[in-house]
Amino acid sequence: MTLFDSDRVRLDLLRQRAYNYRWAVHPADVIPLTAADPDFAVAPQITEALVRHVTDGYHSYGPPRGLPEFREAIANWYTRTKLSPVDPTHVLPVNSAAGGLFIAARTILGPGDNAIIPDPVDFLFRRSIEAAGGIVRTCPLPDGSAEYDLEALSSLIDDRTRAIFICNPHNPRGRMLSAAHLMALVTLAERHGLWIVSDEIWADISYTTPFVSILDRALPVYAKTIVVSGLSKNFALAAMRIGYLVARNTDVTQLLFNASQHASTAAGIPILSQVAGTAALTSCDAWLSDFRVHLAARREQTLAFIAQMPFLAPVDTNATYLAFPRLVGVRDSAESFVARVLEESRVALVPGGRDWFEAGSEGHLRICFATSEEILKVAFDRITYALPTLGT
Ligand SMILES: Cc1ncc(COP(=O)(O)O)c(C=O)c1O
């Protein structure tokens, strides 16, 4: 028996606690393969660390730059698991990867500046840039890829361009950027003096090829690089609102710290979250490794389901626990198709479309498979059974 067996999914608790388009916001007969948030409890080591801390009974103010042991744990995580040496003094814990994107955008963009993002990509990219007063320029990604077409990317750069954003591994496509592509991006960014903001929250979930960070030791150290990451995807800690930023030097770290407003105490990251994060990054390697084994099997299950669905184009995803197939022969929008799937099969999915993953994502749907074998099987069986009524 493992921690990821079907009987480990506590639907009673998920129905109370899993919001954001998931169990708690749907009627009891709906299976939500929606927001990317695992259906499993966190590693026991995380729970034990939290209980120890809470039992001590002290909840004083913490350091505005984050707990030293958490910063150290993050730096070691990158150095140890990604062959990307990180200095702990260049790490800033923040209250989520989402929050990290907003801080990064605020740091590097002023009103009227523009930043380039891929299309498709998670809506947080646009939201963070626009919240900073910046203008979004989307660069359509070639079919099935997470890598930019470098010519198309270059043609979008003008004298108000300040940054290139990347999502590596990529949500929703579940693909990664190669070392050669990252190298090309650094060269391009350096030539134009642009920032690179690399969202690497999915870095620990890859299957067939290893993940390469923009901070990889084989790549040049480019000062205008900011990595955004978090612990919602790898360690199932979304409720803790925990994430971090990594810079390349002290000056940029200071700029991020200023933009974070942590010094004011009006913003910051709760100590309990950092206790959980420290435990995750220092004592949960075995849990993560088992989670990955479980996910690899669910990936196979999902890709096999997609391959036999007449209205979905086959996809290959080699990272994340997401699949993002294109709809084939479906005349209605992704949003109304997903609404019909919900009605006919009681399975909730995320539609493509501008509000979710930029305009180029229309005509796709996203499936999150971070659940049990049994739940996934029931969901896929229900959709298969509803096929005749889903016909377009
Ligand atoms: C690419 C990407 N960035 C950021 C986030 C947000 O993560 P967090 O829960 O740390 O805010 C997500 C969540 O789905 C994501 O997919």
In order of 4, 41, 301, the CA distances from 1 in angstroms are 8, 15, 20
Q: Are residues 163 and 311 in the same domain?
A: no
Atom in ligand 1 nearest the alpha carbon of residue 243: 10
Indicate if ligand 1 lies below 6 Å from the C-beta of 128.
no
pLDDT at 295: 98
Its pTM stands at 0.98
Residue 112: per-residue pLDDT = 94
Pick from 30, 86, 85: nearest CA to 345? 30
CA of 389 to the centre of ligand 1 (A): 34
**Residue 240: both structure tokens together:** 């803790």
255 and 347 fall within a common domain = no
Closest atom of ligand 1 to CA, residue 96: 10
Domain membership of residue 1 (yes or no) is no
If asked whether residues 275 and 292 sit together in one domain, one would say: no
From 200, 233, 358, the mutation candidate for ligand 1 (largest count of ligand atoms within 8 A of CB) is 233
Mean pLDDT of the chain: 97
Question: Does 36 have pLDDT greater than 60?
Answer: yes
Name the DSSP class of 16: H
Cross-strand bridge partners of residue 94: 243
Going by pLDDT thresholds of 50, 70 and 90, the confidence category of residue 392 is: low
Atom of ligand 1 nearest to the CA of 37: 14
Per the DSSP assignment, residues forming a β-bridge with 322 are 368
Query: Which residues, in sequence order, are CB contacts of 272 under 8 Å at separation 6+?
Result: 50, 53, 54, 240
Question: Is 35 found in the same domain as 116?
Answer: no
**Ligand 1 pocket check for 201: Cβ under 6 Å:** yes
The pLDDT-based confidence of 387 (bands split at 50, 70, 90) is confident
**Residue 390 pLDDT exceeds 90:** no
280 lines ligand 1 (CB under 6 A): no
**Span 264-311, pLDDT tens digits:** 999 999 999 999 999 999 999 999 999 999 999 999 999 999 999 999
329-350 b/e (C-beta count within 10 Å ≥ 16 → b): ebeeebbebbebbbebbbbbbb
358: in domain: yes
In short, whether 124's Cβ falls inside 6 Å of ligand 1 is yes
Please state, in angstroms and as integers, the Cα–Cα distance from residue 80 to each residue in 30, 216, 318, following that order: 41, 11, 22
Domain end position, chosen among 257, 283, 309: 283
Counting from 1 in the atom list of ligand 1, the atom nearest the Cα of 121 is 1
Is a pLDDT exceeding 80 seen at residue 1? no
pLDDT tens digits, one per residue of 75-128: 999 999 999 999 999 999 999 999 999 999 999 999 999 999 999 999 999 999
Task: Give the distance (Å) from ligand 1 centre to CA of residue 329.
Answer: 31
The β-bridge partners of 347 are 31
- Domain residue limits at 153: 51-283
Structural domains in the chain (count)? 2
Contact yes or no for 93/66 (Cβ under 8 A): yes
Asked which of 283, 308, 343 is the last residue of a domain, the reply is 283
In tens, the pLDDT along 329-358 reads 998 999 999 999 999 999 999 999 999 999
Give the residue whose CA is nearest to atom 14 of ligand 1. Answer: 36
pLDDT digits (tens, 9 = 90+) for 39-49: 999 999 999 99
Per-residue tokens: 8: 């480990």
**Predicted pLDDT at 279:** 98
Contacts of 6 (CB under 8 A, 6+ apart): 372, 373, 374, 375
Q: Are residues 329 and 181 in the same domain?
A: no
Of the CA atoms within 13 Å of residue 209, those in its CB half-sphere come to 13
